[in-house]
């Protein structure tokens, strides 16, 4: 039903307008107690065998919604109602900003992909913090907060900008993510260099610790798929050195390799997400796991379309997985299908729990390599 509606209605709309329309429906449904309970029962059945512990948090499962869909924390209950085990809001910046000029979101239908150059459009960390403080959740949910640099703030002042958002948002976050990997804010990806990333992450960690004194807020960093292998290794080593809780791999890519959509679309600037990102994001995840093992939590995101993609990320070392673009293409039953498929794959595997499966593929590959040698 959704696929038919998507083809007949959403594909005829501007993608950003369609997003806001669908978002409004989710929020309206979640506002009606009887309706949200009915929808959650249908779309968010819980599989006990998928229960996950990560970042010191207990979750119904490993599958969450990546940052970018709910930038301002306005539909957490609605998205939980659809079955996501954690919701990552944002990216949120210290100052409110409108983002880049429209048109800034494009569908690449033959590639099952999106290009966006939204530019961190959001209401600012003060407004989002107030909304989170006033929230009265209808469902138990894990909420991550993804923070980024305000566009008008010079790169040299980026750390103070992130610290401002941290001081406002850390107390409301189940975990906090430093986003230094979006291609849509000038100079942002320069912060992935370890000489810039070390003081930034250190300052954010210190700000979170002095702001929230009754618990330790887990801190993660989100990296780009376009990093060279040596740079991936450097970020992994830095994360371990600083005691970070996790790395999210990966954000969108600036690569356009292998696309089959109309060149007028593929030439649009911005970050590419969806199916074409699948292999590269998986390769980055495998490299990270080979470097850090079980010392920190890895979150796999990028090109996840179905349960098999999610399962491969788990075997490659991801404790948590996230999606976004396939949600646009597959609709409200997507999360349910992923959970059902994951449960089936776990049952058919030699592993008793998901925790046992995390990194199993990478360890098996390493063992085979050593045996052959």
Other C-beta atoms within 10 Å of 230: how many? Answer: 7
The Cα–Cα gap between 318 and 299 comes to 5
Query: For 326, what's the count of Cα atoms within 13 Å in the CB-facing half-sphere?
Result: 24
Helix (H, G, I), strand (E, B) or coil at 93: coil
Query: For 160, what's the count of Cα atoms within 13 Å in the CB-facing half-sphere?
Result: 6
Reported as a single tens digit per residue, the pLDDT across 106-124 is 999 999 999 999 999 999 9
Mean pLDDT of 354-362: 95
Q: Is 300 annotated as a binding residue?
A: no
Mean pLDDT of the chain: 96
Q: Which residue has the tokens 């929808």?
A: 39
pLDDT band at 276, cuts 50/70/90? Answer: very high
Q: Is 91 annotated as a binding residue?
A: yes
Mean pLDDT of 247-261: 97
Reported as a single tens digit per residue, the pLDDT across 15-56 is 999 999 999 999 999 999 999 999 999 999 999 999 999 999
Reported as a single tens digit per residue, the pLDDT across 192-216 is 999 999 999 999 999 999 999 999 9
**Whole-number Cα distances in Å, 208 to 62, 94, 174, 205:** 25, 15, 12, 5
pLDDT band at 351, cuts 50/70/90? Answer: very high
- pLDDT > 70 fraction of the chain, expressed in percent and rounded: 98
Q: Is 274 annotated as a binding residue?
A: yes
For the domain that residue 268 is a member of, what is the CATH number?
3.20.20.70
Asked if the model's pLDDT at residue 363 lies above 90, the reply is no
Other C-beta atoms within 10 Å of 267: how many? Answer: 10
Q: Is 118 annotated as a binding residue?
A: yes
Domain that holds residue 58: 2-372
The Cα–Cα gap between 319 and 296 comes to 10
Q: Is 72 annotated as a binding residue?
A: no
Q: Is the pTM of this model over 0.85?
A: yes
Looking at residue 4, its pLDDT comes to 85
Mind telling me the catalytic residues?
A: 182
pLDDT band at 368, cuts 50/70/90? Answer: confident
Q: Is 146 annotated as a binding residue?
A: yes
Query: What domain count does the chain have?
Result: 1
């Amino acid at each position: 039903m959704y696929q038919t509606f998507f083809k007949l209605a959403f594909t005829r709309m501007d993608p950003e307008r369609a997003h806001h329309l669908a978002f409004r429906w989710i929020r309206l449904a979640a506002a009606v107690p009887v309706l949200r309970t009915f929808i959650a029962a249908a779309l968010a059945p819980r599989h006990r065998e998928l229960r996950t512990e990560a970042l010191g948090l207990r979750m119904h499962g490993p599958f969450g919604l990546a940052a970018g869909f709910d930038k301002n924390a306005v539909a957490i209950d609605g998205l939980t109602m659809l079955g996501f085990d954690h919701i990552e809001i944002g990216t949120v910046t210290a100052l409110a900003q409108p983002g880049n000029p429209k048109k800034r979101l494009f569908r690449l239908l033959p590639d099952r992909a999106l290009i966006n150059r939204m530019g961190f459009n959001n209401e600012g960390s003060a407004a989002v913090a107030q909304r989170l403080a006033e929230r009265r959740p209808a469902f138990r949910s894990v909420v991550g907060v993804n923070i980024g640099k305000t566009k008008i703030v010079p790169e040299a002042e980026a750390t103070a900008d992130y610290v401002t958002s941290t001081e406002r948002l850390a107390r409301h976050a189940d975990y906090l993510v430093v986003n230094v990997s979006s291609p849509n804010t000038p100079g942002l990806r320069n912060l992935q260099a370890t000489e810039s990333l070390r003081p930034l992450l250190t300052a954010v960690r210190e700000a979170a610790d002095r702001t929230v004194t009754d618990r330790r807020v887990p801190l993660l960093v989100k990296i780009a798929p376009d990093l060279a292998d040596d740079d991936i290794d450097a970020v992994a080593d830095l994360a371990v050195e600083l005691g970070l809780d996790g790395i999210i791999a990966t954000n969108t890519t600036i690569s356009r390799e292998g696309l089959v959509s109309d060149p007028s679309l593929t030439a649009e600037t911005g970050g590419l997400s969806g199916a074409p990102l699948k292999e590269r994001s998986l390769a980055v995840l495998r490299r990270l796991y080979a470097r850090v093992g079980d010392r920190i939590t890895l979150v796999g995101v990028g090109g996840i379309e179905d349960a098999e993609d999610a399962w491969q990320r788990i075997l490659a070392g991801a404790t948590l997985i996230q999606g976004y673009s396939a949600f646009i293409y597959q609709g409200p039953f997507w999360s349910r299908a992923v959970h059902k498929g994951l449960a089936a794959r776990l049952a058919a595997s030699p592993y008793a729990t998901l925790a046992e499966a995390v990194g199993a593929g990478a360890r098996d590959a390493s063992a085979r390599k050593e045996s052959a040698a």
